[in-house]
Amino acid sequence: MSKTDDSRPFIPVRIAVLTVSDSRSLEDDRSGATLAGRIEEAGHVLAARDIVTDDADKIAALVKGWADDPEIDVIITTGGTGFTGRDVTPEAVVPLFEKQMDGFSEVFHRISYDKIGTSTIQSRATGGVISATYVFVLPGSPGACKDAWDGILRQQLDYRHMPCNFIEIMPRLDEHLKRGN
């Protein structure tokens, strides 16, 4: 069973939040604000926050730029995961994944199902790794952002979370590059 090991130190990580929307601004972006607030309340650093329109090329460019930035450890997007013509966030981000995190989607949908029932199938939430950076693609509702953060990310982004967490494996995310010593 999972637990918090208080003998381990809390290690803050730098997290960027990207809202994908044609109709939001930073002033009325409730989903991005929900994530930003929870990130800071948990003791992490909000490294960047932006809004981009539902344009696959713009989304991919911003996510890739952040993933390549050594000052960003985690990227969370919100919005554009549905089935309408403008919902293109998974199409923009998933091709960038070096590794896809199928379990993130499965656990997210289980948590979501408990709250909204079968409507959870209308989301294509996913996660993966790009350039040794964790990337999570969430729906655009504040409720979905709360579910993902409170039910998954808060624990997995806490080094004290046991039996395992994302933080302890961060130094090994790019070991496949076989850098010289």
In terms of pTM, does the model score above 0.85? yes
State the Cα–Cα distance between residues 111 and 154, nearest whole angstrom.
Answer: 14
| Host H or E run for residue 144 | helix 142-148
Instruction: Count other C-beta atoms under 10 Å from residue 110's C-beta.
Output: 13
Average pLDDT, the chain: 95
Q: How distant, in Å, are the alpha carbons of 22, 90, 111, 148, 152 from that of 105? A: 25, 12, 10, 10, 10
Is 16 domain-assigned? yes
Stretches in the chain below the pLDDT threshold 70: 177-181
Would residue 179 count as lying in a domain?
no
Determine, yes or no, domain membership for 56: yes
Domain at 87, CATH number = 3.40.980.10
For 117-159, write each residue's pLDDT tens digit: 999 999 999 999 999 999 999 999 999 999 999 999 999 999 9
Report yes or no on 30 lying in a domain: yes
Number of structural domains the chain divides into? 1
- pLDDT for position 1: 80
Residue 63 lies in a domain: yes
Residue 17, CA distances (Å) to 6, 34, 65 in order: 28, 10, 13
Domain coverage including residue 129: 9-170
Structure confidence at residue 177 (pLDDT): 64
- Asked if residue 161 belongs to a domain, the reply is yes
178 part of a folded domain: no
Residue 175 falls inside a structural domain:
no
